[in-house]
Amino acid sequence: MTETTLLPTPEPVIVIEPRAAIAQATSAPLAPYTHIRRFDYSGGVQDFTVPPGVTTINARCWGGGGAGAGTGGGGGFATGDITVVPGETLRVVVDLGGGPSGGGGMSGLFSQRLGQTLLIAGGGGACFLPSNPGTDAARGGAGGGTSGSGAQGYSVGGSPGTPARGASGSTGGAGATRFEAYGGRGGNTGQNGGTNVNGTPGGQVPIPGMGGGGGAGYGGTTGGGAGYAGGGGGIALGNAASAYFSGGGGGSSFVNGPGVTGGRTVAGNGTSAGGKDDPLHRSPVGDANNRGQVVLQWTEFTLTPGGPPDVELRQGGPVGYPGVRVEAGVAIDPVSVTVALPPGRGLLFGTQTLADYQLTVQNADGQTTPYTGTLSEDGTSLVFSGVDLELPGTTVMWVAVSAGHDAPLGSAALAFTVGGKTSPSTTVVVTPGYTVSPGGAPVTAERGGGPVYPGVEVRNNGSQTTPLQTVTAKLPADAGLRFGTQDSPDHQLTVWDAGGNTTVYLGSVSDDGQSLTFSDVDLAIPDAGSQSVMWVCVSAADDSPPGPTRVEFSVGGRISPSTTIDII
């Protein structure tokens, strides 16, 4: 008797019943997670970039169900929490690698950073056969837990055969056989599915080394399910009097990848997917003749400027403590923190005389933990490793900074990068280390008369040290003033400190005689709040126009008019 299929063709052929696509579904994440993303079948590997600040991803994977609405095997379920690095790429596999034809694909995750498989949920074996009496007694094996289910076979006329086997751990299942014909063996971990007797290739692994492909079926739609290892391919062979049918075997699941905790697998049950009681399951994901799905959840902490509204820094003054606020409803693994000074703003970690490379973390109970950082070669940033954010709750962290003597005035902020997430610090406002203002009562200068001494007052606003400064005194244009008198020019600056001590500096006069410049002037304001007065000697010419005027003083870049000069 010649062997043929129960189809009007001389050779076994693949008859594919298309598996249903899963409708897009959205849902809220489960507490305590704050974000969720669902990945549906796309025909290729998809990428997920771990968001800034995220160190753990919760994954739930459903393998694809095998083709055959009432006879294919349901896909397996795999779940676990994965330790990740912000910014890394996870490669997401949804329902790929099932054996031709119709075998359920594996679903899972692969770490591009580590080059290793993290999770795999096995697919169910296919079993869509010619509609002849009794063929619906054959079944595809469900996708596994650690082992996939074997297929169920059916014999016509007592014809002998063996059903396809499900995968066992990392070992692929054997294909179904009848006499010299056979379905392809399921691929071991890292291998494609085996070919059938006709040489049809088995299912291809989606990423080199990730799982095993399902074995190729022989006749009907009987491909094996893919998984950590693949299920064997089924068979549909014979004639009306003597035939044997078997669906494909189910693939196995895997939850022991690096960094995976709480790993758990649930095998499919007949035509039903595993894990259907999971609150994130969306029917009919993973059921026979339906695609699988991968769902990722994670918690993102918020990072905002923290502390008081502003941190005021005096040029050359003491430190202030700009920082950030971190909030989350769950614990977060220790992270790396980088604090960068704003470029060109003249800020320092600590002060010029006492560097401070410490980060302070304060939890919701007010307890503080210090961390010592590593300073970058250019001195503009600090890196702190293994920082415990002391979550859940609200945490504040800060560093000590000061403004240099030449720091530009105005607002700036440090940049805090916490676990890959960046936020500006509390606003830093740099104010003058000292101020210059008109000093003393108005003076009266008679035209052609004697000298007067207009000046300015200098006050220390909180600078710890004030370096020597350049002082310039500039006469007003067209006022007819001169330094000293016509007969006795005076190019001196006098500085009078709070103790009544005076210091005299000799200046350089400009070519036009309208300004004096004094170098390396001690402003005599050593302490916060201390004051000094400085003045020059001027007189009015015979033709000076009457009225008020002033000398302009520039003290280290601070500009102020002098005491008023009334010319009479």
Q: What DSSP string runs through 529-548?
A: T-EEEEEE-EEE-TTPPPEE
Average pLDDT for residues 451-461, to the nearest whole number? 97
Task: State the pLDDT at residue 15.
Answer: 45
Are 158 and 135 within one domain? Answer: yes
Task: State the pLDDT at residue 284.
Answer: 97
CA pair distance 108, 170, nearest whole angstrom = 15
Query: pLDDT, tens digit, for every residue of 356-386?
Result: 999 999 999 999 999 999 999 999 999 999 9
Are 179 and 37 within one domain? Answer: yes
Are 387 and 482 within one domain? Answer: no
* Local confidence band at 36 (pLDDT 50, 70, 90 cut-offs): very high
Query: pLDDT, tens digit, for every residue of 41-97?
Result: 999 999 999 998 888 999 999 999 999 999 999 999 999 999 998 899 999 999 999
Average pLDDT for residues 270-299, to the nearest whole number? 97
- Give the residue, 226 or 3, on which the prediction is more confident: 226
The CATH number of the domain holding residue 347 is 2.60.40.1290
Percent of the chain with pLDDT over 70: 94
CA pair distance 473, 514, nearest whole angstrom = 9
Are 267 and 322 within one domain? Answer: no
Average pLDDT for residues 407-434, to the nearest whole number? 95
Q: Which residue type, as a one-letter code, is found at position 441?
A: A
* Local confidence band at 130 (pLDDT 50, 70, 90 cut-offs): low
Task: State the pLDDT at residue 441.
Answer: 84
* Coil, helix or strand at residue 370: strand
Is 70 exceeded by the pLDDT of residue 11?
A: no
Q: What is the DSSP letter of 97?
A: -
CA pair distance 175, 150, nearest whole angstrom = 10
Domain extent, residue 343, equals: 302-431
Are 249 and 328 within one domain? Answer: no
* Local confidence band at 12 (pLDDT 50, 70, 90 cut-offs): very low
Is 50 exceeded by the pLDDT of residue 7?
A: no
Are 324 and 400 within one domain? Answer: yes
Task: State the pLDDT at residue 8.
Answer: 32
Final residue belonging to a domain, choices 271, 300, 329: 300
By DSSP bridging, strand 469-474 and strand 443-445 are unpaired
Are 11 and 147 within one domain? Answer: yes
Task: State the pLDDT at residue 239.
Answer: 86
Average pLDDT for residues 439-459, to the nearest whole number? 94
Task: Calculate the CA 386 to chain-centre distance.
Answer: 16
Task: State the pLDDT at residue 307.
Answer: 75
Are 347 and 439 within one domain? Answer: no
Is 50 exceeded by the pLDDT of residue 9?
A: no
Query: pLDDT, tens digit, for every residue of 290-321?
Result: 999 999 999 989 999 987 778 999 999 999 99
Which residues, in sequence order, are CB contacts of 349 under 8 Å at separation 6+? 341, 355, 356, 357, 375, 379, 382, 399, 400, 401
Task: State the pLDDT at residue 5.
Answer: 43
Mean pLDDT over each residue of the chain, to the nearest integer: 93
Final residue belonging to a domain, choices 401, 431, 461: 431
Average pLDDT for residues 119-123, to the nearest whole number? 98
Are 396 and 495 within one domain? Answer: no
The answer to whether the bond into 27 is cis (omega within 30° of 0) is no
Torsion of CA 420, 421, 424, 425, to 10 degrees: -80
Are 315 and 294 within one domain? Answer: no
Nearest to 354 by CA among 323, 384, 317, 382: 317
Average pLDDT for residues 452-462, to the nearest whole number? 96
Nearest to 299 by CA among 36, 535, 119, 497: 36
Are 338 and 256 within one domain? Answer: no
Task: Calculate the CA 224 to chain-centre distance.
Answer: 39
Are 342 and 201 within one domain? Answer: no
The CATH number of the domain holding residue 510 is 2.60.40.680
Nearest to 139 by CA among 49, 73, 47: 73
Percent of the chain with pLDDT over 90: 84
Final residue belonging to a domain, choices 398, 431, 464: 431
Counting the structural domains of the chain, the total is 3
Q: What is the pTM of this model?
A: 0.72
Task: State the pLDDT at residue 240.
Answer: 82
